[in-house]
């Protein structure tokens, strides 16, 4: 019953940690989206000024100014000019299409050319990513010279597309972090007692699992990560037979592949490092496994 409660408590802690990690990631994504939105707005205004510049060139005006682009509503902007001009509707349509394709977040928009005096619509059209939904009329008719303002209203899907892009972009990162987190959980489950007790003494051996080394007769011997995990299992159960299956499962299960000869190789390495203490032997139990034999 106690083990079940401990296991449940650990699972709750792991779940809480994973939830916290995901929450932090989502917050970071949210801040990234805000910064991205500011950049997109500035970039879009530059593209709109480019449209104004080309409209003036098409009208034969290479000297007067395109005045600062105004944001008159959410997702709606106005291009206005220093002087009067004339424009060809088909040229205006082609110009906006060509320039605005440089913004991947723009899908659909409506353009209205307004008379400055009474704000009446002199010309208008609608463009969609799906070309069959375009609404363009009255092309080929040059508009008289007058004071015009060009209003462009974008369909408000930009925010959702941006969110999807950032979230999809963050998925590989979240998957990687989750993978590292789960691996650490497995490592903890493999040796729960070893997480509480880091130093072991048997014979004249002083084994420090935290530092991955052991000391025999004042001689310090470094251990690899795998050697440390293997010796930790034996140190937790001295003079007890540990089956090959258990050793392979606890040491190599996290790697996804278990190679039989790997265990024998690491046992052999540990034996050589323990041979400086004749009272400590790592012996094979035929047909079962291995035992850390410590004599008094």
Domains and CATH numbers, the chain: 32-161 (no CATH), 191-294 (1.10.10.10)
Q: What pLDDT does 167 receive?
A: 55
Q: Which residues, listed in sequence order, are joined to residue 149 by a DSSP beta bridge?
A: 80, 114
| Global pTM value | 0.44
Q: What pLDDT does 113 receive?
A: 93
Give the CA-trace dihedral at 232, 9, 253, 21, to 10 degrees. -110
Gyration radius of the chain's alpha carbons = 36
Q: What pLDDT does 11 receive?
A: 57
Residues 6+ apart with CB under 8 A from 188: 10, 195
Q: What pLDDT does 117 receive?
A: 86
pLDDT by position in tens, the chain (length 296): 434 444 455 556 666 666 766 666 666 555 555 455 677 778 888 999 999 999 999 989 989 999 999 888 888 999 989 999 999 898 899 999 899 988 877 878 999 999 998 889 989 889 987 777 788 877 777 889 999 999 999 987 644 444 555 555 666 666 665 666 566 555 554 444 444 457 899 889 999 999 999 999 889 999 999 999 999 999 999 999 999 989 988 887 765 555 567 888 999 999 999 988 989 999 999 999 999 999 87
DSSP 67: P
Residues 6+ apart with CB under 8 A from 68: none
What ranges in 101-222 are assigned the alpha helix state H?
Answer: 158-190, 192-196
Retrieve residue 203's tokens.
């014979």
Q: What pLDDT does 177 receive?
A: 59
Q: What pLDDT does 227 receive?
A: 92
CA 118 to chain centroid: 51
């Amino acid at each position: 019953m106690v083990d079940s409660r401990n296991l449940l408590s650990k699972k709750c802690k792991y779940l809480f940690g994973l939830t916290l990690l995901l929450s932090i990631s989502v917050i970071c994504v949210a801040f990234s989206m805000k910064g991205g939105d500011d950049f997109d707005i500035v970039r879009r205004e530059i593209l709109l000024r480019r449209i104004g510049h080309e409209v003036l060139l098409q009208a034969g005006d290479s000297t007067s100014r395109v005045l600062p682009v105004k944001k008159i509503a959410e997702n709606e902007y106005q291009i206005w000019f220093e002087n009067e001009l004339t424009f060809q509707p088909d040229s205006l349509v082609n110009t906006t299409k060509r320039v605005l394709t440089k913004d991947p977040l723009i899908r659909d928009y409506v353009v209205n050319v307004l008379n400055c005096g009474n704000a009446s619509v002199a010309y208008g059209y609608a463009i969609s990513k799906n070309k069959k939904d375009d609404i363009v009329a009255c092309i080929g008719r040059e508009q008289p010279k007058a004071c015009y303002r060009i209003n462009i209203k974008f369909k408000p899907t930009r925010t959702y597309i941006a969110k999807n892009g950032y979230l999809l972009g963050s998925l590989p990162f979240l998957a990687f972090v989750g993978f590292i987190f789960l691996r650490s959980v497995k490592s903890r489950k493999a040796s729960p007692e070893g997480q509480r007790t880091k130093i072991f003494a048997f014979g004249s051996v002083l084994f420090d699992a935290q530092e991955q080394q052991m000391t025999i007769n004042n001689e310090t011997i470094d251990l690899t990560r795998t050697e440390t995990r293997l010796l930790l299992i034996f140190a937790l159960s001295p003079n007890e037979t540990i089956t090959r299956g258990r050793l392979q499962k606890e040491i190599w299960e996290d790697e996804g592949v278990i190679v039989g000869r790997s265990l024998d190789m690491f046992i052999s390495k540990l034996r050589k490092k323990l041979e400086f203490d004749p009272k400590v032997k790592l012996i094979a139990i035929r047909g079962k496994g291995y035992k850390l034999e410590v004599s008094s």
